[in-house]
Amino acid sequence: MTRFAAPIAEQIWDMKYRLKQADGTPLDLSVEDSWRRIARALATVEKDPAHWEERFYEALEDFKYLPAGRITAGAGTDRSVTLFNCFVMGTIPDNMGGIFDQLREAALTMQQGGGIGYDFSTIRPKGAPVAGVAADASGPLSFMDVWDAMCRTIMSAGSRRGAMMATMRCDHPDIEDFIGAKADSARLRMFNLSVLVTDAFMEAVKADGPWELVFDGVVYHTLPARDLWNRIMRATYDYAEPGVIFIDRINQANNLSYCETIAATNPCGEQPLPPYGACLLGSVNLARLVNDPFTGDAHLDEQALDKLVATAVRMMDNVVDASRFPLEEQAREALNKRRIGLGVTGLADALLMVRLRYGSEEAARQTERWLHRIARAAYLASVQLAKEKGAFPLFDAEAYLDSGTMRGMDEDVRAAIREHGIRNALVTSIAPTGTISLYAGNVSSGIEPVFAYAYTRKVLQKDGTRTEEEVVDYAVQMYRETFGTDAALPEYFVNAQTLAPLDHVRMQASAQKWVDSSISKTINCPEDISFEDFKDVYLQAYETGCKGCTTYRPNDVTGSVLSVSEVEDVAPGEAPDQVRGEGAQGAEVVYMSEPLDRPQTLEGATYKLKWPDSEHAIYLTINDIIVGGRRRPFEVFINSKNMEHFAWTVALTRMISAVFRRGGDVSFVVEELKAVFDPRGGAWVQGKYIPSILAAIGGVIERHMIATGFLEGEGMGLKSDPTAQVVNLDQPRGPACPNCGQYDMRMVEGCMTCASCGHSKCG
């Protein structure tokens, strides 16, 4: 028997969270081994580690508590990685030396796997004078380009994919350039962008008043506030960025407003943080806590919830002591405040199980009640930890209780904090859970609605065969198991395809009331929503107490992402059972479940290629692997002392190796390379005309394949990729996943996330 509710869950565990040796040999033989590894690692700081290891294991068991991916993958591994998900870096000084010091700190943080946020409002605007050098400033966006290039460099070095958030105040003189930066599809690809919107600006928008753009006390420009607001709205309407952060509300609601000021968030927006602030994340899986689902007696087990929350808070507090930090300033900030971000996942599934329609007023009230209960349990658990281990170092009872969320907290909780202190300054946050929700059996993600009840996932296996897997939402699967596979889904089953945007806002606002940090959520809007209705979504988010707003409207720029396929004879209330990229109906978009594993030692050969008129030779090393008793190419390395060759030889090395590792008949690579013609002319080599140096490389690879028996002879390779699929390009389609190639990218919790493999832009 397996603990996994779906094949995709086990695949996610194996690819992302399972501990393996460098050669790919698994050390975690089962998911129970992973749970045990995490539980043991986080219990080591306890006085009675054996007792707490068992308690922590119970919380992890059956995916009830889901630590964030960094913790699940890194705890107990002795790897030099941070277990914290996200950081906001230090304030950027308005001078060249300070700017590049911050760039270095950002690189070091991302090298260890941390996502980062920066406020670029502190850099003087473009055209401002630079004292002492008789020059004008290039402005914050020019330095954002430098950050963007650095992030791409970190990625190309093989480390974890970088994720960055850039914010800018709505009164900065360069705000209009910031708003329009993503209109250039090639610019700032490594950033999410958000405008820091103040209460004064929102009042000026509503009053149709003037708005001054100011830096260092100097007014650079005055324009109608409503015009600037419309520019923000038009940009996000057209290409989904920038987001909006209600920064005054964030600072007013901050439990630590007496000792810090926030001006930026982590990449997905759920963690507003001060300079060098860091936060670790984890989620309670509400879908696992519902008793008697889909009946009149359905209810969330609140006692079990209280117990689980208390254990989760203790585990997360221990992570603060167990984690490494890229920078000393980050470690100091984390230890002084001991911020944690406990959230939820599976909310939409839990609501379905208690027969509530996501987005309805009743569902919003139930969400508020559940989040209130979680907040109470988390604060009381942190008070208990303070009694045992001490309050966070910057705790000041009077100031803390008069700050932020604490002013509205229940009196018994306030009294307990007043008497005993509290271990963690902030305790709740609702983070993106795209990958861990798949790992937990495809439960609904965070507080998002179910995106689609089911979709078909086509997988290319190592032997070249294709399998087709249906990935079903956890609650839908449970309903089918209870009432039969042919049972029509009740009317309260709604998903992101049919949900009105203001229903999204209602759910976000209901959850925000009892979340002391913030919420990562995407409000999906239909493509044909009017611009005025679209703007109203943001105004409603502001008026109902949200701390920020992120929307996604499919269009020609952003892509159509996913849509439910048209299925004939769908019963009322029943969901179509397949989704795919719009416009790809009938096409088989496939990807490998995983590349071929690399043994520690491979056999191969190195070939010298001397191209006429070139001073330096090119050396090709081709290594092979044995699969099914047959030798086949696995990787290639192309080297030359000619630095003019460096970029393309590195690119070719990576691309060819990636194709070789996917399995199947990869001989088409030879024919593709041999067909490349250089417009400057080829060369005669050993009595044969070769049309380009790339064609010569193809010839070397072909000779190697013949020598090893992979090809029978020259010219006998496939002429095209046998797995390439034709997609109908006459229709709009969503973007392909850069990790697996499936057209399953969707905007979830502020991040483009792949439903097939769990790849996320924000990590």
DSSP-assigned beta bridge partners for residue 632: 625
Do 752 and 746 meet the contact criterion of CB atoms below 8 Å apart? yes
The DSSP line for 293-356 is TTSTT-EE-HHHHHHHHHHHHHHHHHHHHH---SSHHHHHHHHHH--EEEEEE-HHHHHHHTT-
Are 496 and 508 a contacting pair, CB within 8 Å?
A: no
DSSP string, 434-455: HHHHHHTTSPPPTTPPPS-SEE
Buried b (16+ CB within 10 A) or exposed e, 456-494: bbbbbebeeeeeebebbbbbbbbbbeeeeeeeebeebbb
Give the largest Cα separation in the chain, rounded. Answer: 91
Active site residue 702: no
**Cβ count near 319 (within 10 Å):** 25
- Name the catalytic one among 86, 170, 268, 740: 268
Contact 518, 255 (CB under 8 A): no
H/E stretch holding 400 reads: helix 397-401
CA distance 436 to 285: 10
480: which residues sit within 8 A by CB, 6+ positions away? 472, 487
* DSSP structural state of residue 162: P
CB 382 within 8 A of CB 317: yes
437: which residues sit within 8 A by CB, 6+ positions away? 66, 345, 346, 443, 444, 445, 446
Phi, psi of 5 (to 5 degrees): -80, -15
CA angle 188, 189, 193 (to 5 degrees): 65
Question: To the nearest 5 percent, what fractions of the chain are helix, strand and coil?
Answer: 40, 20, 45
Structure tokens at 126: 């473009």
Pairing of strands 466-472, 454-460: antiparallel
- CA gyration radius, the chain: 27
The three-class DSSP label of residue 124 is coil
242 burial class (0-12, 13-18, 19+ CB within 10 angstroms)?
buried
DSSP state letters, 546-609 = -SEE-EE--BTTTB--EEEPP-TTPPTTPPPS-EEETT-TT----EESSPPPPPS--EEEEEEE
Beta bridge partners of 689: 684
Q: Between the CA atoms of 705, 711, 712 and 716, what dihedral angle is there, to the nearest 10 degrees?
A: -120
Which of 241, 260, 270, 594 is catalytic? The answer is 270
d(CA 185, CA 234) in angstroms, rounded, equals 16
Q: Which of 266, 285, 424, 524 is catalytic?
A: 266
Query: Does residue 270 have an active-site annotation?
Result: yes
Catalytic residues: 266, 268, 270
